[in-house]
Amino acid sequence: MGGSFTQKGHGGEKAFNHTQVVQAVEDTRPNTTEQAQGGLLAEGCGRMAEFLAQAPWNEKREGLGVTHPGIEQHLHSHNSICHRLTLMLEELPAEAISTTEGKKLQQLHRILQLRRMPDWPGECLQPEISAPGFDVVISEIAEFETLRLGFLSTIKETILTVYDKLTNPNMTESTNHLTQVAHLLDIKPALTWIQYILPEELTHSTLQLTTFQATFGSLGEIAEIFLFEPRPEGFIIFYGSLQIPNFDGILSPQHCLIMIRNPSHPSLPICSTAAPHYPTRRPAIGTLVTLSSQGRGRHEATVVAIQQNYWPREWRYMIRIEEIGKFPELLMTVLDRGILNSQDMSTCISPKAVILTDGDVAVFFNEFERPIQVTIIQKGSPGFYETVRMVQPLQAHLSPRMKLLDIESHRLFTADMCPSSTANPR
């Protein structure tokens, strides 16, 4: 084993060098048989760490297929790594296995032998809820690759712990990561995955990867991105147990809508529901809003995703804030409905005020959640418009009368801004 390598991943970067391993052991060990055996094990751990630093990350991640050969390739990759690590453990000198750290490696050898799979475990990977339009086979592969990445991360941490103990015998005994290695399908890794479908026109892989980083990079640290063909779809694995809201889509900075399936939620996203409007209108994805929050002042932002909820729960809006000289920031907010807000959230948004002129016809929602049509008279006090509408008295024989009303500008909108919410204005 020669040369050096760098093991990259979540939690930083650690460099290993074969010469440095040998030198470190020679500089610190007493002239004992146990220390000599520890040096041999340290070299073996170095080789395995070098392999794990390269092999999983060099696998194909683009142009994948959902055919039987494509599925088998994921299983083959898992079994190949387990087999290679098993052989590397068997190459360690037998006399070194009697040491304390050697016994941990012996336990690791048994685990790797048991984790190889002869067949694709499809029945154990099928999602509880299938989302319309999303490929179930890709969901299975996403679940498998997430479990596999968690398994390899635990193996890697075990090897690095043994290596550190061998090269620094005085270090404090750390947690035995092997106790966390159950069957591959029973592991609960600290990873999160989501499935996606890109717009049909977004087919170039370089543009796809750029879009992913710009759109999802603010949600969490991306571990892996898998791209399938022929339709631009796949899945993303994040480090950490992220709490991603139950969205059905998110808007990219390039203003293309990426459809999402989030398996961490027990039900599919709500696509249509009668949630409160009053006293303002609901902003749509892609529209500009004004953010007002304690300690931040007021900012302009774009709505990129909406988590719809049944009444009386507030809808939740994910917004993207872009400021010069800063990375884009994603925030979860609710619509500012004043005292009617059912949640105590300090971060609220208001729709951007529409610009109207005298004589324009506009719509607003009244306290009964009904769209009401009014005519603009003129601008009133700051932030308000003076409006008029015709009201029919309860007595049928009486003629309609005019009703004047000052309405906040952000409550007003034209019928073409939200046609689904303005049907049959009164």
Residue 300 phi/psi, 5-degree rounding, is: -95, 135
Average pLDDT over the chain reads 81
Residue 424 pLDDT grade (very low, low, confident, very high; cuts 50, 70, 90): very low
166 and 41 in a single domain? The answer is yes
The reported pLDDT for the residue numbered 13 is 42
Query: Is residue 356 over pLDDT 60?
Result: yes
Q: Judge whether 281 lies within some domain.
A: no
Partners of residue 249 on adjacent β-strands: 259
* pLDDT recorded at residue 28: 46
- Least confident piece of the model among 100-109, 250-259, 300-309: 100-109
Of 415, 116, 133, 122, the closest CA to residue 268 belongs to 133
Both 318 and 210 in one domain: the answer is no
Residue 201 resides in a domain: yes
In terms of Cβ atoms closer than 10 Å to its own Cβ (0-12, 13-18, 19+), residue 384 is middle
Are both 13 and 73 inside the same structural domain? yes
Distance in angstroms (rounded) separating the CA atoms of residues 361 and 353: 15
Cα(214)–Cα(165) distance, integer angstroms: 40
356 inside domain = no
User: What pLDDT does 195 receive?
Assistant: 96
The structure tokens listed for 126 are 């099928």
The predicted pLDDT at position 382 comes to: 87
What tokens were used for 277?
Answer: 């409007």
Centroid of chain to Cα 365: 35
Whole-number Å distance between alpha carbons of 375 and 306: 31
- In this structure, the answer to whether residues 331 and 412 fall within a common structural domain is no
The whole-angstrom separation of Cα 166 and Cα 62 is 39
Contact criterion met (CB below 8 Å) for 158 and 194 = no
Q: Exposure of 58 by Cβ count < 10 A (0-12 exposed, 13-18 middle, 19+ buried)?
A: exposed
DSSP sequence for 265-314: SSSPPP-------TTSPPPPTT-EEEEEETTTEEEEEEEEEEE---TTSP
Q: What whole-number distance in Å separates Cα of residue 143 and Cα of residue 127?
A: 9
Q: Is residue 270 part of a domain?
A: no
Q: Are 181 and 220 members of one domain?
A: no
Residue 267 covered by a domain: no
Domain that holds residue 338: 288-351
Residue 373 covered by a domain: yes
In a domain? residue 277: no
Name beta bridge partners: 179.
Answer: none
Q: Residue 368's beta-bridge partner residues?
A: none
73 lies in the same domain as 175:
yes
Sign of CA dihedral 170, 174, 179, 182: negative
Last residue of a domain, one of 325, 351, 377: 351
As a whole number of angstroms, the longest Cα–Cα distance in the chain is: 112
Q: Are residues 155 and 43 in the same domain?
A: yes
Question: Could you read off the pLDDT of 28-80 as tens digits, one per residue?
Answer: 444 455 566 667 778 888 889 889 888 888 899 999 999 999 999 999 999 99
Same domain as 89, residue 16: yes
Say if residue 101 is in the same domain as residue 209.
Answer: no
* Whether 13 and 106 share a structural domain: yes
Same domain? 206 vs 297: no
Residue 275 has pLDDT above 80, yes or no: no
Does the pLDDT value for residue 384 go beyond 80? yes
Nearest CA-CA partner of 156 in 145, 168, 148: 148
In the chain, how many domains are there?
Answer: 4
33 versus 314: the higher-pLDDT residue is: 314
Q: Where residue 246 falls among pLDDT bands split at 50, 70, 90?
A: very high
Q: Check whether residue 143 and residue 162 sit in a common domain.
A: yes
Residues 6+ apart with CB under 8 A from 35: 25, 29, 169
For residue 351, name the pLDDT band (cuts at 50, 70, 90).
confident
Q: Which domain CATH number covers 384?
A: 2.30.30
Domain endpoint, select from 351, 376, 395? 351
What pLDDT score was predicted for residue 12?
42
Asked whether residue 282 is domain-assigned, the answer is no
The tens digit of pLDDT for each residue in 385-423 reads 999 999 988 888 888 899 999 998 888 888 776 544 333
